[in-house]
Chains A and B, each alone.
Chain A
């Protein structure tokens, strides 16, 4: 499995460089405009493209076909992909944290931003990885857009409703919402891995 993880990392060397460059530009520009929080949120969302690109590379270079003839199980192939995605997500959050600390953003806000970013990453990866295995990256990218709009649309809609009704969101339930969402996403992740393994095990190349 280590070999598969290495393969993903080596494959994306160049792409990583580009991504780091773009993030750097965002962080500097928006940071200098006094909006480091916005920069951080945007760049976190951009990081989702990482694992999608891994799948694109696989398809383009047919590594997916080659991987199944190597002495690794199909389960390992899937787990390696989740591991790399997780690793990348963690690193990006860590970088965000350092950036926000340097920019002297209040700790509470940092926690909020990172928490939200983590949730977005889990949500996107959990749904998208099995999709990519099942339908390929082309269709999955479109689906991702849709998938991102649903929760944001819902939240936005609720917020609007609350506002129109003259109510304000009770701030003290936010931690519970986050914990609840994390539990649901954790379970979802487990389900996602399970589903991906199933899809790949039955796949014909």
Chain B
């Protein structure tokens, strides 16, 4: 679908086995200038996938290319901004301490840019971070991730536990970040409505496997849910039906190409789908 040189990140068939859990042949690709949402329920493998990308864990098999080459170097790390779900700094420090530390960690650190973010986010200079709210901590993590000319942001659940106003601010920041057309964001979340807005691609992870990795609009506007009585749904004889779920009073079928389906079955109601609906459909038995 895409030329390889347009990819900032390519993941091919990575596997990692743990006692209780395994990543199983995870593959996806993130183009330049795009936002990809990594969606899945808690424990689906989103964080493990991100750890693998960042070289925090070793792989049993598979291949990861970042910035067009395999393996992650210190130079690559200069151009990657990372946010974990929990703030990772020693919270007895204040934001200006962190600025001083990062200035000596990243070669491309931009003190002015960092300062701008601090002001924009209204983060106090001298207060200990542990007294910050969760939203402020997340903003601080983002400020650090975005103040060293990163080309790729890897963000683990950056919006969870935040109020809608802060979430909206952060989502706008994402759109600004990719506006140069060169930088990309991989962001995991179980709040799918956030991703429904800003993500260009959606990758669904479930039990360590990728169920789907697609252009978001293709998902939202071509998938649908057919709803009818149990008999009607079960009598559907179409390759477009991907999954059937029975309720107490009705049944639902996940439809792949709702336009074609409606031509085939004009009398069956087909609802538009949200990423949440899709997640529930795909992840429940």
- A binding-site residues for B, Cβ under 8 Å: 2-4, 6-7, 10-11, 13-14, 57, 61-63, 65-66, 68-73, 204-205
Contact = CB atoms under 8 A, between A and B. Distances in A.
Given A2-B104, A10-B100, A69 B90 contact: no
B125 to A, nearest CB: 14
Nearest to B81: A69
B90 A65 contact: no
A68 B57 CA distance: 10
B90 to A, nearest CB: 4
Task: Give the residue among A2, A11, A73 with the most B Cβ atoms within 10 A.
Answer: A11
Nearest to B87: A61
B88 interface: yes
B91 to A, nearest CB: 6
Contact of A11 (B77, B90, B100): B90
Interface in B28-65: 51, 54-58
A114 B39 CA distance: 59
Interface string B90-110: 111100010011111111000
The binding surface of chain A is classed by DSSP as helix
Nearest to B53: A69
Contacts of A10: 90, 93, 97, 100-101
Contact of A57 (B90, B101, B106): B90
Interface string B55-89: 11110000000000000001101101010101111
B101 A62 contact: no
**Main SS of chain B's interface residues?**
loop
B186 to A, nearest CB: 13
Of A14, A61, A205, the most chain B CB neighbours within 10 A belong to: A61
B102 A71 contact: no
Contact of B103 (A3, A4, A11, A204): A3
Contacts of B78: 71
B88 A66 contact: yes
B107 A62 contact: no
Contact of B105 (A14, A62, A72): A72
Given A11-B90, A61-B90, A71-B78, 4 more contacts: A3-B105, A68-B54, A69-B77, A71-B105
A7 B104 CA distance: 10
Contact of B93 (A11, A65, A72, A205): A11
Contact of A65 (B56, B104, B105): B56
B102 A3 contact: yes
Contacts of A66: 82, 84, 88-89
Given A3-B105, A10-B97, A69-B82, A204 B92 contact: no
